[in-house]
Structure 1
Amino acid sequence: MTTRATARKPAKPADRHRTPATPRHYAVVGAGIAGVACARTLVQAGHKVTVFEREAAAGGRMASIDTAFGRFDSGAQYFTVRDPRFALALEATPGVCKRWSANLVRVLDAHGRVAEAALPSLEPHWVAQPGMDSLVAHWARPLGDSLVTGTQVTRIEPDALDPARWQLRTAGAEESTHVYSGFDAVLLAVPPSAARALLGDSKLSATIGRKIEPVTIAPCWTLMIAYPQANQANMSHLGPQWNAARSTHHRVAWLARESSKPGRERIERWTLQASATWSQEHLRDTPSRIEAKLLRAFSEITGIYATPAHAQALRWTEAQTQVPVGTTHLWDAKARIGVAGDWCTGHRVEDAFLSGLSLALDVL
């Protein structure tokens, strides 16, 4: 893929570590893009890695949901490419990602009027196809059985047989529990609330605990709606001519026509992301109340008053970083515990990738 990055391509970061004198076994908790990038780098360096993911598949906030009317990107809507290391990783997976023409994003006022039109020279917007989760799934595939899904890590503790190593207690389907042992280090690629819980009030690493304590991440209510009637004769789509917009409406911060993204089904579909302030104020509302409120806002912004055939609200309790750590990752060599995630430096997809990569290289 072609990107703005013009720096000379660096050598693959893990090449010089490919045959370690003493292969180690690392536990990576979380299979979002940060966790998968971290795990792949360690594996390429010749180490053994076991990745634990609470959900049924890898992806994290690069999530997609399948419905009877097509797929929705329920988390990250797109990504940009600024760092040559991220560009190099994407170029090694051709065909998975395509440029989305919605880089011509509109900025709307609270009444849906175009307040500003982005210029064509703005950096490209990229999406994975057929859904944003496809990129993480593609990168996670070489991990094979080393990726343990549907398994939540509930506790980190010294290995019962070898206190110099770590063991993890986990919970799975039907309240099943299991203990995985023999880890030389534990690397957390999870949201800060989960990291704090696993660190046990900083008992495992006071250094990391102190640095992640100030981190705050705003929630986000997301609404996904479908209008199959727009695909009938003489109706190519409903509403405005633009495919994505940022909004100053007090309820809605972002709108995207899902059906305009490459590799998607053509049924008219929209995804709305509520503003951080409004999401926080309505964090405990029921999904049905959120659907009604956001649908009303959607009509005010777009002029689409038709009733959708499908409406689904989803709450992300930690979505957009407000106060980051301020460094790409955290690594406590003495405790042999590390932390990575987009929230270390921001909230972009590229932030997550670079965080996982940087943590792995630091560990190596």
Structure 2
Amino acid sequence: MPASRVLDDLLPRPGGPLPRVAVIGAGVSGLVLARMLTGAGFPVRVLDKGRGPGGRLSTRLHADGGTFDHGAQYFTARDPLFQAQVNAWREVGVAAEWRGRIGTLERGAVTPSSKESVRYVGVPGMNTLATVLAEGLGVRSGVRVERVARDGKAWRLTSDSGEDLGLADVVVAAVPAPQAVALLEGAPTLAARAREARLTPCWAVMARFAAPVALALDGAFVKDSPLSWVAREASKPGRASGERWVLHGSPEYSAAHLEETPEQVAPKLVEAFARAVGADVRAVEAVAHRWRFAMPSPPLDTPALYDADTGLGACGDWCAGPRVEGAFLSGVALARQVVAGVAGQ
């Protein structure tokens, strides 16, 4: 089964001329939405400010050939539709089960996890899943949509550089809630809902060590620390060897140090890692990346936002729930709402 087939054939094809759709944001929810609507025959464009699709499904390649999944670390599957998509990814080799040793870590004390959760990762990196979802969609990267304004019965999109990005009948903000607010001004009720959402930040450090870190875990939720999570990259399937770790700052620490520079944050979180491990571990290299909008806290109580009268909508993990699955299901929900809106016209 092709990796995208689960989504491509999920929706019925409405009859008659279909509205032009512009999706702002090429994270999981935006790509899922675009994939489904494209499969149903809609003309769809995807615009994203990043260098490539993925959002927090992000993997950085190091000069030594190793990688760092510095955004989403892994994902689980509970919903049957998402599990079907995960199975399709696994069949073509772009996802695999991560069987690393998971537990909690507190100042050198290790507690293995008692839960039997099945955890998956993209192969060879988390961003591979975004690349597969984006196949055939013609995502335009490196463009930030700043304004969505009425132009007759359609919406005209304008970039932050003043570039006219053309017209669309339906516009979806598949971006973090604080960024979605300005794009939803044409539907004040939706903008107000997006304004309610709260997202916490996360500093992520990509650290490389010369010697193996003596820790009997490959992934750990860290207690009583500026860190919330650490992971040994080489323990994931399809990764190169080498002692590379991703260190995630806690929401509290990340918020308190949000405006510091990466150069200031990286050594502090490496030091926190050493304290958590309870050993003198020193990184030969450490680079920090700031995720300003990392986790919904809490998400809204709706899977997606859509106003069929205006043709404006929004989706993301801040609607349906955190993690990759939440973003996936939010895109699915909004695609169904858009099709229902066309059928009701």
TM-score, normalised by the number of residues in structure 1: 0.87
Give, in whole Å, the separation in 1 of the partners of 2:25 and 2:175.
5
Residue 92 of structure 1: SS of its match in structure 2?
helix
Q: Is the CA contact (8 Å cut-off) linking 1:20 and 1:46 kept in structure 2?
A: no
Percent pairwise identity: 36
- Pairing 1:197–2:182 present: yes
Find the counterpart in structure 2 of residue 106 from structure 1: 103
> 1:242 deviation in Å?
1.1
C-alpha contact (below 8 Å) 1:14/1:361 kept by paired residues: no
Q: Give distance in 2, aligned partners of 1:208 and 1:51.
A: 21
Please give the alpha-carbon distance, in whole angstroms, between the structure 1 residues aligned to 2:9 and 2:238: 32
Counterpart residue number, 1:50: 45
Match in the other structure for 1:5: none
Deviation at 1:305, TM superposition (A): 2.4
* RMSD after superposition: 1.8
| Match in the other structure for 2:121 | 127
1:20: how far off?
3.0
SS in structure 2 of the partner of residue 280 of structure 1: helix
Equivalent AA in structure 1 for residue 173 of structure 2: L
Structure 2, unmatched stretches of 5+, are 340-345
Q: Quick one: structure 1 residues 76 and 305, their matched pair in 2 at CA, closer, same or farther if it must change by over 3 Å?
A: same
**Structure 2: distance between partners of 1:112 and 1:292:** 19
Deviations 1:215-243 (A, max 9, x none): 1111111111012x33xxxxxx3211210
Give the structure 1 partner of residue 276 of structure 2: 301
Deviation at 1:285, TM superposition (A): 1.6
Partner of 1:358, secondary structure, is: helix
Does the C-alpha gap of structure 1 residues 339 and 123 become closer, same or farther in structure 2, counting only changes over 3 Å? same
Opposite residue 239 of structure 1, the aligned amino acid is A
Q: CA deviation at 1:292?
A: 1.9
The list of structure 1 runs, each at least 4 consecutive aligned residues, that deviate by more than 4 angstroms after superposition, is: 11-16
Q: Is the 8 A contact 1:157 1:168 kept in 2?
A: yes
1:334-349 to 2 correspondences below 5 Å: 334-349=309-324
Give, as a single letter, the amino acid of the residue that structure 2 aligns with 1:42. L
Give the equivalent residue in structure 1 for 2:132: 138
Query: Which residue is 1:233 aligned to?
Result: none
Letter in 2 for 1:157: A
Q: Within 2, Cα distance between the matches of 1:253 and 1:128?
A: 22
CA, structure 1 residues 276+15, in 2 after alignment: closer, same or farther (shift >3 Å)?
closer
Pairing partner for 2:298 from 286, 307, 323: 323
Alignment counterpart, residue 209 of structure 1, candidates 187, 191, 208: 191
Instruction: Give per-residue Cα distances to partners, 1:27-81, cap 9 Å, x unaligned.
Output: 0000000000000000000111000010110000111111113110110000001
Structure 1 position 211, deviation (Å): 1.4
Q: Which residue of 2 aligns with 1:4?
A: none
* Structure 1 gap ranges (5+): 2-10, 231-236
User: Which residue of 2 is the match for residue 79 of structure 1?
Assistant: 75
